[in-house]
Chains A and B, each alone.
Chain A
Amino acid sequence: DAGVTQSPTHLIKTRGQQVTLRCSPKSGHDTVSWYQQALGQGPQFIFQYYEEEERQRGNFPDRFSGHQFPNYSSELNVNALLLGDSALYLCASSWSTRGHYPYNEQFFGPGTRLTVL
């Protein structure tokens, strides 16, 4: 089992550009969450996808959008990049937790390091 994989590993963009990051969940997982981790900070929840729909969203602007495909893989898109979008973007997958215990463990990928110049 390859675990959660993300691509690309690193990415450099300039302000105003658009970027797409990709995530393949761990085998058997149907839920994908995206997090932004700024340098020296904890991950911040962006949104979660389940059954190809955005199930929950954190406090991020509409410039951040996503998609989940029938094979459960996911993309994170960021439009009109700002310098402040420079961060490590983490994808986490899990088997769906339907809001009641026991909650299923999230497995994180290694992340995509995005640098905006």
Chain B
Amino acid sequence: QQQVKQSPQSLIVQKGGISIINCAYENTAFDYFPWYQQFPGKGPALLIAIRPDVSEKKEGRFTISFNKSAKQFSLHIMDSQPGDSATYFCAASPTGNQFYFGTGTSLTVIP
């Protein structure tokens, strides 16, 4: 059973546009929600993370929006750049030790 559901599977955005990736979860024990970026041949790298007591967190062009009542969270990439082309994973954890990952979104930013 997939603990964290992620959509879309793939996304194509024009340079300068906004990329939006969505995730949903059911387990209310989750209290930490990171997003990872993965380039081909590399391991995932932490991009930004949020706790459920905050509805939004922004770091540069990356923003997480969190809706605790709906059990949903999303990643917004503003002013998307070709260098942002990668696979993005949302994840969730109840303790900071075991992480449950979404299935990934392949983002392509067209110049």
Chain B proximity of A68: nearest CB distance (Å)? 14
- For the complex, is A44 an interface residue (Cβ under 8 Å from B)? yes
How many whole Å from A58's CB to the nearest CB in chain B?
7
Q: Are B89 and A43 in contact (CB under 8 A)?
A: yes
Interface size on B, residues (CB 8 A): 25
Q: Are A40 and B104 in contact (CB under 8 A)?
A: yes
Residues in A whose Cβ lies below 8 Å from that of B4: 42
Task: Say yes or no: A101 contacts B44, CB within 8 Å.
Answer: no
CA distance A47 to B103 in the complex (A): 19
**B69-111 interface mask toward A, CB cutoff 8 Å, 1 = contact, 0 = none?**
0000000000000000000010101011111111110000000
Q: Give the CA-CA distance A33 to B104 in the complex, in Å.
A: 20
Q: Please tell me if the beta carbons of A99 and B97 are within 8 angstroms of each other in the complex.
A: yes
Q: Is B43 an interface residue (CB 8 A)?
A: yes
In contact, A97 and B101 (Cβ under 8 angstroms) = no
Task: Known A-B contacts: A40-B104, A45-B100, A100-B96. Give 11 more (CB < 8 A).
Answer: A4-B43, A42-B101, A42-B103, A44-B101, A48-B97, A90-B43, A97-B95, A99-B95, A105-B46, A109-B43, A110-B41
